[in-house]
Chains A and B, each alone.
Chain A
Amino acid sequence: MADGPRLNIDVEEKRFPSSAAPLLENFHVTIQPSQVVALVGPSGVGKSSLLRMIAGVDDDYSGSITIDGEAAGTAPPAGFVFQDARLLPWLTALENIRAVREETTEAEARDFLARVGLAGSENAYPAQLSGGMQRRVALARAFSVNPRLLLLDEPFVSLDAHLVADVQRVFVDLIRQTRSTAILVTHLPADAARIADRAIVLGGRPARIMADIELSPARDIRSEEQLRALALAIANYDEAPN
């Protein structure tokens, strides 16, 4: 399996028409191939907006974002998990997975659902699934496009506490298998510490990088104590005054 892409994010300015101050200004980050990066920061700092710009959904900014040298808007699709599950309500769980990529066979879609613990729910419509189950379908959908780049916006929110660890394990396993580059937006430092290779803490307006923390690449050997220490470090930056 080939490594995921390298990302060069060079945003001169991103602002919303209704807002006086820019959301991002002179924002420059390079993300290495197959790196798992957590974007941490308070609500409204611009984490989700940045993710949408990387996905090529929002191109209303000055500067450039390239994915292996290709402009974000024309690069192959990333596996995107939105903040809400964003399933198409008129399609079953299985159909939702197949909807985003024509080549995905029914057997493959079933397999992806089984991997997130949803075997047996293939023919359920989103309205018949709990919020947590919907998010797992969204996660399976993101992986089903065989992405080299994964973009995840708060993927573990609204999951039951006992499911978070399971889904995070599935997520880490899939990341390892696919060797994708991944960007995870979260407001929970503990999630970042548990999953990411690197945590970028955003704060202020316009948003700037408050901290860029390299984490041990061997996630398995992180003890609970290490995790707590990392989470605390990120939380300290997170709460730093703007």
Chain B
Amino acid sequence: MRWELVSTILLLVVWQVLATIFPGRLFPTPVAVAVELWTDLVDGKLIVDMGKTLERAAISFVVAMTIGIAIGILFGRSRILDRLFSSWVIVGLNLPAVVIAIVLYISLGLNETAIILAVIINKVPLVITTIREGVRSFSPDYDELALAFRMPLRRRLRLVFIPQLTPYVLAAARTGLALIWKIVLVFEVLGSSGGVGFRINTMFQFFDMTGILAYTTAFILVVLVFEYWVMRPLEHYVLRWRTDRG
């Protein structure tokens, strides 16, 4: 953590020095960006935009994880289903995100449903793949243990199945969040009303580099807060039985 802090400060210092040496409207200093950030925060504009983006990301994330986990488990357990649909998943993984967004915008119009659906379609194949590989790697030894002791199905699910699945759900959540943060913004730039991406697009029309960097910084801060205050403590708690964890 200390090294990360030192690294961040170093980055800001280098940025400040370079922006001072080469001043210009398109290369603002970090101080100017911080002032802009504070102004946007105080007048409430940033909070409204950030709220809109986070809402879209949250809905997409929950729906994509739910669908992806369910299908991933089915594919992991059933060779037939996996063989039948694995090519669909490969297509889904390699389909350009922008194409999905444009197709949905044309089909459904520039609305919330289209943007959220586009994010979900982008994210689901990734979750399916992670969960499927996880389920395939389950140890048959634990199934045998449960069978030998005649553990009832619910108990088996709670104590044997879900704990084996959890690390893969966390991995899917982490990679999925990283993806969703980015594509929500891209889709908002492409066409939406409100949100961080929409605002950045507006600033782009006016070459407002300071505003763009202020919004980007705010967005990065939110992602970092989520990572350090939600994801890492959650992962640490759920995987506390692993002694290789620091």
Contact = CB atoms under 8 A, between A and B. Distances in A.
Interface stretch (A84-92, A171-179, A198-206, A232-240): A84-92
Nearest to A95: B159
A102 B159 contact: no
B242 A127 contact: yes
A86 B145 contact: yes
Contacts of A78: 148
Interface residues of B, number: 17
Q: What is the interface of chain A mostly: helix, strand, loop, or mixed?
A: loop
A100 interface: yes
Contact of B149 (A77, A84, A125): A77
Given A76-B150, A77-B150, A128 B243 contact: yes
Interface string A224-237: 00000000000000
Q: What is the interface of chain B mostly: helix, strand, loop, or mixed?
A: helix
B163 interface: yes
B151 A89 contact: no
Interface in B151-187: 151-152, 155, 159-160, 163
A102 B155 contact: yes
B241 interface: yes
Interface centre among A89, A127, A128 (most CB of B within 10 A): A89
A101 B241 contact: no
Interface centre among B148, B160, B163, B242 (most CB of A within 10 A): B148
A125 B243 contact: yes
Given A77-B148, A82-B148, 19 more contacts: A56-B147, A57-B148, A76-B150, A78-B148, A80-B145, A80-B149, A84-B141, A86-B142, A88-B142, A88-B145, A88-B159, A100-B151, A102-B155, A125-B243, A127-B241, A127-B242, A127-B243, A128-B243, A145-B149
Nearest to B154: A102
B144 A125 contact: no
